[in-house]
Structure 1
Amino acid sequence: MFNIGLYWIPTVKKEYFLAHPLGVNPVLLNDVVFALHAVVATTITVTQCLIYYRGDQRISKTALVILSLTSVALVISLFVAVGGKITWLVYLQIFSYVKLVVTLIKYIPQAWMNFRRKSTDGWSIGNVLLDFTGGSLSILQMFLQSYNNNDWTTIFGDFTKFGLGLFSVLFDCLFIVQHYILYKATEGYANIESEQELLSED
C-alpha cells in the first residue's frame, strides 16, 4: 500500500515532499513490482492452504489475535485519516510499519524450531540465500540512491524498506549459521514433544 501510494497517488507524493522538501521519492518501480509480486504470491499460497490437505494444522490463536488487533488498528486509522486528523501519507506509513512488524515476527518460529530440533533437516536453505541476496541489494540500492542524490534522508523517508532489508539480512545470517555451522553435522533431528505446538495451537 505504501509503495503504491507513494509511487502513483499525487496527493500522497505531495504530502511526502511537503515533509521532505529537498528529498527524492524513495519508492522506485522495482519497489512497486516487488509489492505486487508479494501480493500475488501470498494470495496463491493462502489459496493453496485453503484447498489442499493440511492435516490438523491451522492458524494459531496468537496469529489470530495479532491479525485481529492489526485489522482494528488499520480501520480506526482509516477513519482518523478520513477525518483529516492524519495525512494519507501517515496512514500508508502505518501499513508499512505493520509489514515491518510482521516480517520481524515471521522469522522467529523457524529460528526457534531449528534451535529446538538442533537441526535444519527437511528445511530448504535456498530461499534464505535468495532472501539474503535481495535484502542486501535492497539496502545497497537505498544507499546508492541517497549518495547519487546527496540526500541521506531518503533512507528514513522509506524506513520500512530499510528495516525490511536489515531484518531479513540479520535473520538470514542466523539461518545460514544454523544450517552451515551449528547443525551442519546433525543427522536427522531431535524429536520434541511440543513440535506440533510450534506449527499450530490446539
Structure 2
Amino acid sequence: MSHHIGKSIVILVISSILSLVIVNGQTTIGATVVLDPQDATILVEETKTIEVKFRGRLTQSVQFNFSAEHEEFVKVTPSSVTVDPPSDGFIDRAVQVTVAAISPGQFDLVGHVMPAGLIDDAKAFIRITIANSGTLIYVAIVIGWIYFVAWTVSFWPQMIINFRRKSVVGLSFDFLALNLLGHTLYAIFNCSMYWNDHIEQEYFSRNPRGLNPVIANDVAFSLHASLATLLTVVQCFIYERGEQRVSYTAQGILGIFATVIVVAGILVGTSTWHWLDFLYALSYIKLAITLIKYVPQAVLNFRRKSTVGWSIENILLDFTGGTLSMLQMLLNAYNYDDWASIFGDPTKFGLGLFSVLFDIVFIVQHYVLYKNRTDPKTLEEESSNSTYPAESAAGSKASIP
C-alpha cells in the first residue's frame, strides 16, 4: 500500500516539474506587425513608401527582415529593421520603408521577425504589382467596363425579338436550359463568396495572403444574367413555340449535373467537404456548361438552315465582350510580365477563346450560310429542339421540366 502511495507521489512531483518547465518555456505573443498598405501598384523605375507597423507588448529586441526572394523585382530599403522594447513594455511604432521597382511582375513581399514567437508576423506581407505602363492600367480598366456592359446587354436582344415576334421558334430550349442552370450556379457561387463571411473565412484560411476573387461586378453580372435568362424561359411558356421541347439528351446532361450537386451537398452534410468545396463544384459545372451550351443552338440553326428567331445582336455583343476580355488579359500579361496567367493556366483564356469561336460560327451562319432565309419551314420540321446529332426527331422530344 505504502509502495503505491510513494509511486503516486513521485509521478505527481515529476508531472509538476514538467508542467513548470513547459510553462516557463512557452513564449507569449503579445505584439503584431503588419505592412501598410497590403496592396500596392508601382511602375517600373518608380518607388513607393510603405510602413512596417509594430503594436503590442514587447519585452526584448527583435529584428524584422524582408525576404530576399524577389530581389530581381524590387529593392527594399532598409531590408532589415531592429526594434527595441520601450520602457513601459508596450510598442506602437511605424517604420517607413522604400520599395523601388526594378522589373514588372506580381508577387507577395514578405517579412519575418527574429527571434520567432515574440511578434505575430502573419500579416507582414504586401501584394505588389509592378507594371510597365500606367496608361495600360487605365486602358485595361476601360476595356473591362466595356466588355462588362457588352455582356450584360447581350441578354436583352433575344427577349426583345421574342416579344416582337410573339414567338420563340428558332431559339434552342436546350441552350436555354443549360444557360439558366449555368448562370444560376454562377450567381450562387458569387453571392456566397461575396456576402457569406463564413465562406470568405474558409477561403482566406486556405489562401492567407489572397484576395477574395469575387468583386461587386461579378455579383451584379451573375444576378442579372440569371434573371434575364429566367425571363427568357418565361417567354417560352407564353409565346408560340411550335413543337420545341428540351431534348432527352439535354435532360440527361442536366440530370448528371443535378446528381453532382446532390452528391456534393451530401459530402458537405457529412462534413467530408466544406462549403467552399461545394461552391467549387458548382463553378466546375458552370465551366462545363460554358463548353457545351452553344452546341444545341448551332445544330438547330444547321437543321433549319436558318437563324430566324435567334438574335444575332446577342452574338455580336457576346463576341465583343469575349474579344475585349481576351485583349484585357493580353494587355495585363504584357504590362505585368505575367504570361504564365495565360499559357501556364490557360483555362480562363481558353474558355473565352472557345466562346468567341462559337460566336464566329453563329456569325457565319447568319451572314453567310443562311443569309437569304427569311421564311421558316413548317414548325414541325424546324422547331424540334432535338439538337444533338445522335437523337432522331421523333424520339427526342420531351416536355419542358
Asked if these proteins are the same fold (TM beyond 0.5), I'd say yes
The amino acid across from 1:135 in the alignment is G
Whole-angstrom distance in 1 between the partners of 2:327 and 2:216: 16
Q: Is 2:227 the partner of 1:31?
A: no
Greater radius of gyration (CA): 2
> Normalized against structure 2, the TM-score is what?
0.42
The amino acid across from 1:106 in the alignment is K
- Counterpart of 2:317 in structure 1 is 130
Q: Is the 8 A contact 1:117 1:191 kept in 2?
A: yes
Q: Which runs of 5+ in 1 are unaligned?
A: none
More helix by share: 1
The amino acid across from 2:225 in the alignment is A
Whole-angstrom distance in 2 between the partners of 1:150 and 1:18: 28
| 1:146–1:37 CA distance, 2 compared to 1 (3 A) | farther
Whole-angstrom distance in 1 between the partners of 2:377 and 2:229: 30
| 1:144–1:23 CA distance, 2 compared to 1 (3 A) | farther
Whole-angstrom distance in 2 between the partners of 1:44 and 1:115: 26
> Normalized against structure 1, the TM-score is what?
0.75
Q: Is 2:397 the partner of 1:201?
A: yes
Shifted more, 175-184 versus 104-113: the winner is 175-184
SS at match of 2:321: helix
Aligned residue pairs: how many? 200
Q: Once the 2 structures are TM-superposed, how far is the Cα of residue 147 of structure 1 from its aligned partner?
A: 8.1
SS at match of 1:58: coil
Q: Once the 2 structures are TM-superposed, how far is the Cα of residue 162 of structure 1 from its aligned partner?
A: 5.5
Matches within 5 A, 1:70-109: 70-109=257-296
Whole-angstrom distance in 2 between the partners of 1:74 and 1:125: 33
Shifted more, 106-115 versus 85-94: the winner is 106-115
Q: Is the 8 A contact 1:135 1:164 kept in 2?
A: no
Whole-angstrom distance in 1 between the partners of 2:317 and 2:332: 22
SS at match of 1:36: helix
The amino acid across from 2:275 in the alignment is W
| 1:145–1:84 CA distance, 2 compared to 1 (3 A) | farther
The amino acid across from 1:18 in the alignment is S
The amino acid across from 1:64 in the alignment is Q
Whole-angstrom distance in 1 between the partners of 2:359 and 2:211: 30
Q: Deviations over 1:19-56 (max 9, x none)?
A: 33443222111110011001211222222223344333
Whole-angstrom distance in 2 between the partners of 1:142 and 1:27: 17
Whole-angstrom distance in 2 between the partners of 1:110 and 1:31: 26
Shifted more, 69-78 versus 97-106: the winner is 97-106
Matches within 5 A, 1:37-48: 37-48=224-235
Q: Is the 8 A contact 2:326 2:353 kept in 1?
A: yes
Whole-angstrom distance in 1 between the partners of 2:259 and 2:285: 12
Shifted more, 137-146 versus 98-107: the winner is 137-146
More strand by share: 2
Per chain length, whose mean CA-contact separation is higher, i.e. which structure has more relative contact order (CA < 8 Å, sep 6+)? 1
Which of 57, 60, 85 in structure 1 is aligned with 2:247?
A: 60
Identical pairs, percent? 54
The amino acid across from 1:37 in the alignment is H
Q: Is the 8 A contact 2:305 2:373 kept in 1?
A: no
Shifted more, 107-116 versus 90-99: the winner is 107-116
Which of 217, 220, 236 in structure 2 is aligned with 1:49?
A: 236
The amino acid across from 1:65 in the alignment is G
